[in-house]
Amino acid sequence: MGTIGKDFDYKIIDNFLSKDEIELLSIYCEIMHRTNLTKFDTDQINRDSSFYGDSIMESLMLKKKSILEKESGKKLLATYSYWRCYTKYAVLPKHKDRESCEISATVHINSNGPSWPIFINGNEVNLKKGDCVIYLGGKLAHWRDEFKGDHQFQAFLHYVDADGKNKDYYMDKRNFWGQPRTRT
């Protein structure tokens, strides 16, 4: 066991989600994606469904915090959740995250396509459904090349170090979980 940022920059957590959690979240994500009329990622040409601060994902973020604290070796403050249904031809451009994403977890909920790795600081990371990778989102460049499947559900759970410089980003400066982000 080490500490993220000191002993490692990212770490894969196998079976982060139970089979029941995968099934529940897969059904939920499919319903939300198929009935979505307004929440799209306008940066993508195919306008994938995307949801900031979704209640079930915020609940997942809070429920899984203790596991991520153990794996990261840090006391964490939750900031926000985000999930996306990626569709065919989606890409995730190379980027680093903002202050609220000091420590991020990318969770592979489910997919009907081929393996679609995330690249973290140039390293290819392949996740099976239910797996997660925890990494320094604000420090490490990460991206995905073009997706070849029909859809993939990904959750992003974001935290800050409770003793770090970004601790004021707790709850992403919102008043309540599940609220939209107010731009500051």
Residue 40 pLDDT greater than 90, yes or no:
no
Q: How far apart are CA 27 and CA 40, in angstroms?
A: 19
Residue range 91-129, pLDDT digits in tens: 999 999 999 999 999 999 999 989 999 999 999 999 999
pTM for the model: 0.93
Laid out side by side, the sheet with 123-125 consists of 92-95, 142-144, 118-120, 123-125
The pLDDT value given to residue 1: 67
Task: Tell whether the torsion through CA atoms of 48, 98, 94 and 10 is positive or negative.
Answer: negative
Kindly calculate the radius of gyration of the chain based on its CA atoms and give it in whole angstroms.
Answer: 15
Contact 96, 138 (CB under 8 A): yes
Mean pLDDT for 152-178 is 96
pLDDT the model gives residue 180: 83
- Whether residue 42 has pLDDT greater than 70: no
> How does pLDDT run across 135-155, given as a tens digit for each residue?
999 999 999 999 999 999 999
CA distance 64 to 116: 23
* Domains of the chain with bracketed CATH: 10-162 (2.60.120.620)
Side chain identity, residue 119: F
